[in-house]
């Protein structure tokens, strides 16, 4: 499919109710309001397509940008391209899902995550924590820098309630959950940190979304005997 063919199909799937919901969460024009299930219908036709994914992301259309994340070829996308994507990921569906998912599946996901969490731009910092969380979920423990993850947990414990940006707090909380769930060596440490940070306050912009309580979430993973069970892919 060509770029124009994909955009035309995206427009045909546009749903006003979905569009209104996404706008409440931060999406801005131009976009059509396409459900993820419909995005995946297009993905079945295109499969992974590096060049098309880059072109879609460059449109600035939120639906196209999210689809680009699903379509991206993790073996071909470069650090430079992912840095560009992170910079342009203006709301959390892009900055905390689409872009981090792709980054986490690349060999440079960890390095990018460490770089991004230092950014003064809220959406990039949030993308960094989400990338590190997803990286832990798909990469084998022997490939992970366990000591670095432990230090990051300490950083979250010290900083999470002093981080003014909402989405950074949310992503940090998700990082604690992911580390406790996917890295066996750090499950107890994550539980301790989760207990200390307790409830994380995040303004959800009037939506019904809630911040998961990290200690309860990790406990559920333990109870289900799923600690350390990696995902095949970050993207879903």
The answer to whether the CB of 210 falls within 8 A of the CB of 28 is no
Give the Cβ contact number of residue 186 at 10 Å.
24
CA distances for 81 relative to 114, 148, 180, 206, angstroms: 17, 25, 30, 33
Phi-psi label, residue 201: left if phi above 0, alpha if psi -120 to 50, beta otherwise: beta
Nearest to 113 by CA among 76, 70, 71, 155: 155
Site of tokens 């940006």? 165
What is the radius of gyration, based on Cα positions, of the chain? 18
Distance CA 7, CA 199 (A): 41
The angle at the Cα of 109, spanning 177 to 149, to the nearest 5 degrees, equals 40
pLDDT of residue 202: 86
The answer to whether the CB of 110 falls within 8 A of the CB of 135 is yes
Sketch the domain layout of the chain as residue ranges: 1-73, 96-236
Residues of the chain where predicted confidence (pLDDT) is lower than 70: 206
The answer to whether the CB of 33 falls within 8 A of the CB of 16 is yes
In percent, how much of the chain has pLDDT > 90? 93
């Amino acid at each position: 499919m060509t770029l124009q063919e994909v955009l035309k199909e995206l427009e045909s799937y546009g749903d006003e109710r979905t569009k209104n919901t996404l706008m409440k969460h931060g999406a801005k024009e131009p976009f059509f309001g396409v459900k993820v299930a419909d995005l995946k219908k297009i993905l079945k036709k295109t499969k992974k397509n590096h060049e098309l994914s880059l072109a879609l992301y460059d449109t600035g259309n939120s639906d196209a940008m999210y689809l680009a994340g699903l379509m991206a070829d993790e073996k071909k996308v470069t650090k430079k391209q992912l840095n560009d994507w992170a910079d342009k990921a203006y709301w959390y569906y892009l900055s905390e899902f689409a872009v981090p998912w792709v980054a986490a599946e690349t060999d440079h996901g960890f390095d990018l995550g460490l770089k991004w969490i230092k950014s003064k731009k809220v959406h990039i910092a949030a993308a960094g924590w989400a990338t590190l969380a997803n990286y832990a979920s798909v990469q084998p423990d022997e490939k992970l820098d366990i000591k670095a993850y432990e230090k990051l947990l300490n950083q979250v414990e010290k900083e999470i309630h002093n981080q003014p940006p909402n989405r950074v707090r949310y992503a940090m909380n998700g990082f604690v959950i992911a580390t406790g769930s996917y890295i066996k060596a750090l499950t107890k440490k994550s539980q301790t940190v989760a207990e200390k940070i307790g409830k994380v306050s995040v303004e959800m912009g009037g939506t019904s979304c809630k911040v998961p309580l990290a200690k309860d979430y990790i406990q559920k993973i333990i109870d289900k005997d799923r600690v350390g069970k990696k995902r095949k892919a970050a993207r879903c």
